[in-house]
Every structure is written in C-alpha cells, then in structure tokens.
Amino acid sequence: MKKQHAILMAATFLGLAFVGQAEARDQIRIVGSSTVYPFASYTAEEFGQTTRYKTPVIESTGSGGGMKLFCAGDSMDTPDITNASRRMKAKEFKLCAKNGVNDITEVVIGYDGIVIAQSKGNDNINLTRKEILLAVAAEVPNKDGSKLVPNPYKYWNQINANLPHRPILFYGPPTSSGTRDAFADLVMKKLTKKMDVYTSLYKADKMKNKAYKKYKTIRQDGVYVPSGENDNLIVQKLLKDKSAFGIFGYSFLEENSDRIKGATVEGVTAEPENISSGKYPVSRSLFFYTKNSHASKVPGMNDYVSLFINEQMIGEEGNLSEIGLIPLPKADRNATRHRVVKHIKLTAEDLKKK
Amino acid sequence: MSLHVNQQMKRRYAAEKRFKAYAITALTLAGAFLIFFFADMISKGLPALQQAEILVDVHYNDSSMQNYKKAVDKPLRRIVSRGYLRTLPLYMEDHPELMGTNESRWVLATADVDQYLKGKPHRLKSKYQKQIDGLLKAEKVRLAFNTGFFTRGDSKMAELAGIRSAVIGSIYVLFLTMIFALPIGVMTAVYLEEFAPDNRLTQIIEVNINNLAAIPSILFGLLGLAIFINFFGAPRSSALAGGLTLALMTLPIVIITTRAALQAVPDSIREAAFGLGASRWQTVWHHVLPLAMPGILTGSIIGLAQAMGETAPLLIVGMMAYVPDAPGNIMEAATVLPAQIYTWAGESIRAYEERTAAAILVLLSVLLSLNTMAVYLRKHFEKRW
C-alpha cells in the first residue's frame, strides 16, 4: 500500500514541479535557418569553449519557422536570436511588433551561393538562368512566346540546341527549405516578373492569376525531384545518376569537390570570389536577428553577437570561411559591426527598400 | 484412377516445394539486407573509434594566453586542432602554476589530418601532407583510441564531436518516459482488465487505446507541444518535454502488453484466491500482478526501446537541436542519440560520415541489448500453464 502511494505522489510532484518555471535563463536560445545553422553552431561552440558562459542552444527550424518562434512574444521563453537565409519579411516584422517584439537588430553575416552541381564525370556545362527557368518551371512560354503551356521539355537540347542531348533531371530541396525559396527567387522570380507572357496573365486578372505576377512554381512531373533537407542525400544521388543536376548550398560543393562539380551560370563559376562580389547570380545573404530586450537578461548574449561578427569569425581568413561561409566585402562587414555596436533598431522602412 | 491420384499428389508436392522456396527466398532477402546494412555500418563506423593525435610541445605563457595559437610552434598550428588550442587560455587561468612551463603531450589533430591518415577523402594541402608523413616517421603522429567520442558532446569540428551529451540526454528522456508511462500504463491496464465492468464506456476506451498505439508518432509530438510546452510551460528542448511526450507515445503499448499479460494469467488463480476469501485488490496485488510481471516487463522494455529510437515527436518539441553540453537536469536543453545521428548525417564535412555510422552502431547495440533483455526475461520468468 505504502509503496503504491509513494509512486503516485512522486509522479504527481514531478508533474507539478515544472509549472511556472522557465522565467530565468542562463543559456542563449537560438532558432532559425538550416543554412545558417552550421555557422551559428560553430560560433556557439567557440563561445562555449572560450568563455565561461554556457554554450547557446541552437535549433534548426528553417527561416520561416524561426521567425514564427522569434516573433511569438517578448517573454523569456521565446528565442533570443533567429537565423535566416533571407531577409525578414514585412509580414513577419508586423507579427513581431504585434507581439511586443519591437527592438530588433538585423545582422548580415555573409553570403551563400546556390550551386547547380553534377557528378564529376560529366563535361563542363554552362547554363543561363533562363535555361534553368525553362527546365524547372511548371508552365513555360510556347515556341513563339505568345502563351504559357505545361513544361514540355525533357532534354536540355530542346531548350537550347547548343546544349547536350541529356535528360533534364534535378534533385533539389523540398518546399520547406530556405534554399528552395532562394532558388525560386533568384532564378525564377527575378526573370518571370519581367517576362510579359507571365505578367500579362496577372494583369488580366489580378485576383485569380496572382501567382503569375512573379511566377515561381516548380514542375511536378518528376523532372524536379524534391530530396529532403539533407543535402548529403542529393550528393549521393548525383553520384548514382550521372545525368542529373543537384541544387544545394555552396559549402556542400566545396566539401565534395573530389566527386562533384558546379555548372557555370551565365559563364560565372561558383567560387567564393564570384559569390561575394555578386558576379555569380544565384547567391543570397545570410542574416540573424537579435531580440535586444533580452540582451540584459540573458548573460553573454552581447558577447556572443560580438564574437560572431568578429573578423576572426566572418572575416576573409575567418573560421567560418573554412566551413563554407562566403565573407562580405570589408565595407559591409564594418557596416554590420556598426549596426550591432550602436544597437540600430530594425524598422519597417528598412525591409521595404532593396 | 491411380494415375489421377498420382498427378494430384505431384501437384501438391510441387505446391509445397514452391511455397517453401518462396519462404526461403524471403528469408534470404531479409537476411541479405540485414547483413548488407550491418557490414556497411560497421565498415564505415569502426574507423571513428580511432583518432589522429600529434605529439607537440605546449607552451604555457603570457603570449599563448593572448593568442592561443602561439601555444604550439608555428609549423604545427595548421595541423593541431583549433578545438584543443582555444581551450588553453581558460585552462591556464585555472592552473596558474603551469605558467612559464612547457609540456610535451599528445593533442588532437585536425579532422583533415585524421582523414588523411585513414586514407579517406580530405582537404589537406600537399605541404601539410609531407609534414604529416615526416611526423609519422618520427612517430610524432598516431591513431589512438578515440575516447573523446564517448566523453565529449557534439561539436562543429569533426575531430571533437562525440556522443556524450546525446547519450546523457537519451538516458534522462528514457528515465522520464519510464517513470511516467510504466505506472500509469500498468494501473490503467489493471483497472480495465481486473476491475472495470464490461460496458459501452470501457469498450470505447479500449478501442481508442488500440487506435492510439497505431497513430504516427509525430502526432504525439504535436500533442506534447500543445500540452507540456504551451500549456504547462515546460522548457522547449528539455528532457522533461521530450520524456513526457515519449511517455504519451509509449503509454498505449504498455497498456496493451500489460492487458495481454494479465489475460494470460488463468482464471483458476483468481478463483482460488477468491475462494480463500481474498479481496479483489489482494488477488490482483498478491497473485495476478506478480505472475504477469515478466510479460509486463517484456512489453515495457520493447516500448522503451521504441521510444529510444524515436525522433519525429522530439523534432516538434525542439530536441533536434545543437546541444554540445550534457544537460545537468531535466529542465535544461538536451538532445538524444537518434537526433544526434540525424544532425551529423546532414553535415557537409565528410569526416562526420564515420561518426554518424559509429553513433548508429552505439544506438543499435543499446537497442539490441534492450531487446535481448526482453527475450531473456520472457524465457526465464514466464510461467506456462
């Protein structure tokens, strides 16, 4: 009898023990993009090892998921920092403001290039963004460019006679991925928003054809194969399937340069110099956002941020460049530091321009 | 007539042979998959048990306090793991008596050196390759047993990465799962089996429990997020949130196996107890439960083993995170072994491949021993009637 009571009591106590906890915290909490995750966790580890603070906890939730958690409120059970492989959206900024998160600083840490890679045995190939668009879009202009038709292309030489007779096949990230968003933005949206054959549909019926304003729908007839968030898997598939192309972040190309190689895009090779100078067209900036109201309550938060933006981390010879971060130009690095030191608040206007 | 019978016999024998052949093929196929999987994992994972080390003179002095790279001689700075060097300033602060001395010791080499020595793809420049070859001749480089893999937590430097924090996280989570799921599950089963009347209500409960055992585990993650984190305020990513969530998932399994074990106890035992004047409670507590115990334990262990390998619900409650420090209590952020494997599998650095495989081997051996224990308990304590 006694024993049974003891067990029940213990269970009840444990159940009640955690109610009302979670106010004070001595560990930085970070969420956000899986692309920034390797850089953030590297910095977090450095921070934990070289200071007496605890190592921050970093969750890889994707850029959008991170924003949602970050903007959920100002209390201590929300994250202090969110990483993003794209800029905060105006919508997300509004959500933040609505939930009392008003003092945010935006920190740009560097670039990431998205590569179109293939197995090493193939001939070098040069693709234009237009050709890639025609290969992956669900609907493409017909021969005379007068209207949209479901994508008929099966071989690269159907798009451009100079390209090889090679089946079109892409292994790429799924819809939840920031890499896919960036790919769709940089390759598809950037072109389609200036192509009349897409935009005229939007103009004809703005409500019904909203998707055609900046068209970025990827075809679903098996030519583009979504391959999960794990980019190593895409590398494996490229090795098996020699004719296929893979879409992923530059760091994976660098790490696997003995067995895969990147296609040149509009004549530009995916190399750190080209990506950081902006010559390579499929590249994006990486960010993190800090919740400044937490800075005084979470020990070490400011130190973590200053370690991250230190030349030793994000500089040209910095540690993060060794694991694939492409550094910002020097002036931009200084601008980033200036924003952090001065605690410059992010405003709705900041997010509009660009 | 007899010809007809003979033909029929032949057909029947042939059918039997065919059936046997199908079964054997299926078995060989399953066996081949298993062997392939194990051989692949073992051949990939075993190299991770060794790690490259370099014999260097470490200088403890003010200049290495200022810049930790100066603690070793210049030519070695690129091949000694920075993960070791960066800990030196704090180490010297804690041991002021070392200042001004030199120490010759084996320290970790970078992952590239390690991969080079193991003959795997690496990015070591040819200059350093020559240097390593030279050091190898002088016996100043070696592959030593990788204790760090078991004593250190996750790291972004492949040479430092270990499973300690994940293992401790798994232990916390499993412990919590056990202390919540077992008592509640067993009590529920005892009530349903021994006390509850057989009416519409208990039938509905029964159907629901069976149904719960079959739903995808990620739904339990969503439930855990809603109840334990959002409502009760358990800290996100904590072992508490994870353990309770997995307890929810394990509960139906415990209830179902416990009920089966109780049903297997023959009614003659209960009737004998009642006949001697025992109350229902005494019957259950003194006779039925002890007899059903081996079955209950077996089921519970299998349920726990399943919980141990689970990742989907933990993803939702935030345990798929970068947690290099082992948690000190159940409220702190923690990760678990399968989550660690998932994280490593996604790393771009190739040296993680062997560590992923080695972590899988560790997980497999733990699961194997849990399941063996379940079989052992069943074989040794089970009563046949």
For residue A197, name the pLDDT band (cuts at 50, 70, 90): confident
pLDDT of residue A60: 84
Q: How far is Cα A177 from Cα B316, in angstroms, rounded to an integer?
A: 17
Task: Answer whether A224's CB lies under 8 Å from A136's CB.
Answer: yes
Tokens of A13: 């106590």
Which of B235, B237, B345 is nearest residue A59 as measured by Cβ atoms?
Answer: B237
Specify the amino acid at residue B242: G
Residue range B195-200: mean pLDDT, rounded: 89
Instruction: Give the SS3 label for residue A284.
Output: strand
Same domain, residue pair B334 and B370: yes
Q: Do A324 and B345 touch (CB under 8 A)?
A: no
Q: Nearest 5°: phi and psi at A61?
A: -110, 0
Which of A42, A231, A252 is nearest residue B156 as measured by Cβ atoms?
Answer: A42
Residue range A276-282: mean pLDDT, rounded: 87
Q: Is B192 a member of any domain? A: yes
More confident site: A325 or B25: B25
Which H or E run contains B307?
helix B289-308
* Least trusted range by pLDDT, from B59-73, B174-188, B259-273: B59-73
Same domain, residue pair B208 and B350: yes
pLDDT over 60 (residue B182): yes
Same domain, residue pair B336 and B220: yes
Between chain A and chain B, the number of residue pairs with CB atoms below 8 A apart is 106
Closest by alpha carbon to A44, among A341, A324, A313?
A313
Closest by alpha carbon to B193, among B284, B276, B129?
B284
Unique residue bearing structure tokens 């519409």: B200
pLDDT over 60 (residue B174): yes
Q: Is B159 a member of any domain? A: no
pLDDT of residue A38: 86
pLDDT over 90 (residue B181): yes
Q: Do A60 and B82 touch (CB under 8 A)?
A: no
In DSSP terms, A139 is beta-bridged to A150
pLDDT over 90 (residue A63): no
Which H or E run contains A231?
helix A231-240
Write the pLDDT tens digit of every residue in B292-331.
999 999 999 999 999 998 999 998 998 988 888 888 888 8
Same domain, residue pair B173 and B322: yes
For domain A113-282, which architecture applies? 3-Layer(aba) Sandwich (3.40)
Same domain, residue pair B36 and B112: no
Alpha-carbon torsion A265, A267, A270, A276, what sign?
A: negative
Select from B96, B123, B151 the last residue of a domain: B151
For residue A10, name the pLDDT band (cuts at 50, 70, 90): low
Alpha carbon of A233: minimum distance to chain B alpha carbons (Å): 8
List of chain B residues whose C-beta atoms are within 8 Å of the C-beta of residue A252: 348
pLDDT over 80 (residue B113): yes
Same domain, residue pair B121 and B79: yes
Specify the amino acid at residue A123: D
Select from B46, B64, B81 the last residue of a domain: B46
Write the pLDDT tens digit of every residue in A106-141.
999 999 889 999 999 899 999 999 999 999 999 999
Same domain, residue pair B188 and B145: no
Instruction: Give the SS3 label for residue B211.
Output: helix
Which of B180, B322, B348 is nearest residue A58 as measured by Cβ atoms?
Answer: B322
Same domain, residue pair B237 and B372: yes
Q: Which residue of B has its CA nearest to A76?
A: B235
User: Where are the domain boundaries for CATH 3.40.190.10 in chain A?
Assistant: 26-111+284-352, 113-282
Closest by alpha carbon to A27, among A295, A293, A296, A299?
A299
Q: How far is Cα A7 from Cα A19, in angstroms, rounded to an integer?
A: 20
Q: How far is Cα B72 from Cα B60, in angstroms, rounded to an integer?
A: 9
* Least trusted range by pLDDT, from A6-10, A83-87, B146-150: A6-10
Q: Is B158 a member of any domain? A: no
Closest by alpha carbon to A339, among A104, A67, A70?
A104
pLDDT over 60 (residue A18): no
Q: How far is Cα A67 from Cα A31, in angstroms, rounded to an integer?
A: 8
Q: Do B350 and A256 touch (CB under 8 A)?
A: yes
List of chain B residues whose C-beta atoms are within 8 Å of the C-beta of residue A307: none
Same domain, residue pair B208 and B295: yes
Q: Is B319 a member of any domain? A: yes
CATH for the stretch A26-111+284-352? 3.40.190.10
Select from B126, B151, B176 the last residue of a domain: B151
In which domain, by residue range, is B85 found?
50-151
Q: Do A45 and B345 touch (CB under 8 A)?
A: no
Mutation site for A-interface testing, chosen from B322, B343, B344, B356 by largest number of A Cβ within 10 Å: B322
Task: Answer whether A42's CB lies under 8 Å from B156's CB.
Answer: yes
CATH number (domain holding residue B362): 1.10.3720.10
Unique residue bearing structure tokens 């208990």: B202
Report DSSP state, residue B68. G
- Distance separating the N- and C-terminal Cα atoms of chain B: 49
pLDDT of residue A6: 55
Task: Answer whether A250's CB lies under 8 Å from A320's CB.
Answer: no
Alpha carbon of B134: minimum distance to chain A alpha carbons (Å): 25
Q: How many domains does chain B have?
A: 3
Question: Hey, is the C-beta of A13 within 8 angstroms of any chain B C-beta?
Answer: no
Q: Is B187 a member of any domain? A: yes
Question: Hey, is the C-beta of A232 within 8 angstroms of any chain B C-beta?
Answer: yes
Q: How far is Cα B125 from Cα B291, in angstroms, rounded to an integer?
A: 67
Torsion of CA B127, B129, B131, B133, to 10 degrees: -150
ipTM over 0.85: no
pLDDT of residue A147: 85
pLDDT of residue A173: 85
Task: Answer whether A37's CB lies under 8 Å from A83's CB.
Answer: yes
Same domain, residue pair B41 and B60: no
Same domain, residue pair B121 and B173: no
pLDDT of residue A3: 54
